[in-house]
Amino acid sequence: MAQALSTRPEALDRLARNMPTFTATHLAGGMQKVTSTVMAEGAVVITRHDQPTMVLMSVDRYLKLEQAAEPNLDALTQKFDDMFARMQGAEAAQGMADAFAMTPAELGKAAVRAAR
């Protein structure tokens, strides 16, 4: 379940800094100005009692967010295929043979070197 925004003050602060802000009262009374700002800026924060309660955004910005959330399966497939091909080569096979021939201490040292 998603954490409530009220318990994440850093997220609320970031919203207030990065987007124009309107109160819920201004939203109800001045939709034309709010809409114009959304179209110019991409999104606005709507507050209630000085607390961010929602984000109003343009369809274009929403579609970009939606697209960014979807994995590019072709790119992921290519990345997997490339990694799998590297694992099939003689160099990878020799590396595995070397690893299995190492003592536990040698294997630990190699792991530390690889992590650096």
The burial class, CB within 10 Å (0-12 / 13-18 / 19+), for 23 is middle
**Residue 51: CB partners within 8 Å, gap ≥ 6?**
6, 12
Say if residues 52 and 13 touch (Cβ distance below 8 Å). Answer: no
pLDDT band with cut points at 50, 70 and 90 for residue 40: very high
Mean pLDDT, the chain, whole residue set: 83
pLDDT band with cut points at 50, 70 and 90 for residue 63: confident
Predicted confidence (pLDDT) per residue in 66-87, tens digit: 888 888 888 889 999 999 998 8
pTM above 0.95, yes or no: no
pLDDT at residue 2, as a whole number: 47
